[in-house]
Amino acid sequence: MHVYLVGGAVRDQLLGHSYHEKDYVVVGATPQQLLDQGFTPVGKDFPVFLHPKTKEEYALARTERKSGTGYHGFNFFTAPEVSLEDDLIRRDLTINAMAMDDAGNVYDPYGGQDDLNNRILRHVSEAFVEDPLRVLRVARFAARYKKYGFQIADETLQLMQRISVSGELECLTAERVWKETSRALMEEHADVYFQVLRDCDALKVLFPEIDALFGVPQRPEYHPEIDCGIHTLMSLRQACKANYSLDVRYAVLVHDLGKALTPKEMLPRHIMHEERGIPPVEALSDRLKVSTQTKQLALAVCKEHLKCHQAMSLKPGTLWRLLQRLDVLRRPERVEAFIQACECDARGRLGLENRPYPQASFLYEAIQVVRSIKAQDLPADIKGPEIGEMLIQYRIDALASLKQRHERSEHSS
């Protein structure tokens, strides 16, 4: 029996990239041998075991054969005679098809180290096309390793295109698509994930609402990049640069979906695109089964982002109603996430990436101002329904004072 470290841990160790999970493959063993050593079985489709002490995963070397559709459509075969090379050839990319023994010796039958050194994401074999999930995984790897200069091999991109047009992507469950996408969104270059999916024709299959933005023009005086799809990816890049949360990144991704629905005769103007965007944001969020919290922020940003940009010119009462809709008194963190997403939208424009966004600091102050006013601040003789009415008026007056201070500061500077 021989045990090898495999997959991402080997890849990232050789690359000098941090990693947390370790996976092992066991060659020349039977399930009973692992059970006898205290391993706990956890695999449903093929024998995977947890180490009795470390709880790391150990899988028996296996081969697999396509037997149906989707990424579940495989039959697996495990036996002591299955070799390390047999196991590795079924993996997706050459850089993921390497193994390492306890002595640090690397086993690389399919050229993974060369591709690692040359910064190439390349499939191991033609079996790549049998698993549609690999389209998303390769796109995610492209996003993760963009900072190292990795590119997808042309022949691998062609295989991804074959999968995209085969109908196999429709077999992926919503949960699996969101799992890969949410992980990709948290990468430093999340925009690359969506660009790769578009390059291999998968975006229009899995995310048609986003794909529809590409080629839709905007007014160049406001959007020098012109294309709505490019603006979306530029905005997402800003969210990654600021290391914002998953909820913010998703909200930025979908904030302009309504622009794909603008009547052609209105282009390049996008009047009412905020309202038009609500149905596609709801449809995409429901299809992906994103969390309620993630969906709510996305809907708020879609519907209200223009008001965030206009915050400093809004009347105090209008500003209060905006903050109230965002649930400022109970969920100030949601308002902060809303501001972050809107700032990414404002800076996701060609040549305006570093433009000041004073609306952010103004709104952060507005949050503190309205939350600082409590019922005990009111006159003692105010009772019943009058309390709520006067609290609102106090908060609106406080916002008016805040606005005046900002205006005086602008004039003096």
H or E element: which one contains 162?
Answer: helix 154-166
Nearest by Cα to 60 from 99, 91, 27, 102: 27
Residue with tokens 């299809």: 287
273 touches 257 (CB < 8 A): no
277 touches 258 (CB < 8 A): yes
Instruction: Please indicate if the annotation marks 21 as binding a ligand.
Output: yes
Instruction: Please indicate if the annotation marks 91 as binding a ligand.
Output: yes
User: Which residues are registered as beta bridge partners of 100?
Assistant: 5, 106
Between the alpha carbon of residue 343 and those of residues 39, 125, 361, the distances in Å are 51, 44, 11
Instruction: Please indicate if the annotation marks 104 as binding a ligand.
Output: no
Using CA atoms, how far apart are residues 22 and 70, in angstroms rounded to an integer? 26
111 touches 91 (CB < 8 A): no
Using CA atoms, how far apart are residues 353 and 230, in angstroms rounded to an integer? 13
Instruction: Please indicate if the annotation marks 8 as binding a ligand.
Output: yes
Instruction: Please indicate if the annotation marks 23 as binding a ligand.
Output: yes
For helices 316-325 and 292-309, the axis angle rounded to 10 degrees is: 170
- Neighbouring residues of 144: CB distance < 8 A, sequence distance ≥ 6: 184, 187, 188, 189
Using CA atoms, how far apart are residues 234 and 263, in angstroms rounded to an integer? 24
Phi, psi of 241 (to 5 degrees): -60, -35
62 touches 46 (CB < 8 A): yes
> Quick one: tokens of 372?
């600082």
192 touches 241 (CB < 8 A): no
Instruction: Please indicate if the annotation marks 334 as binding a ligand.
Output: no
Amino acid identity for residue 181 in this structure: T
Between the alpha carbon of residue 23 and those of residues 3, 7, 296, 315, the distances in Å are 10, 7, 37, 58
H or E element: which one contains 3?
Answer: strand 2-6
Which residues carry a binding-site annotation for Mg(2+)?
21, 23
Which residues carry a binding-site annotation?
8, 11, 21, 23, 91, 137, 140
Which residues carry a binding-site annotation for ATP?
8, 11, 91, 137, 140
Which residues carry a binding-site annotation for CTP?
8, 11, 91, 137, 140
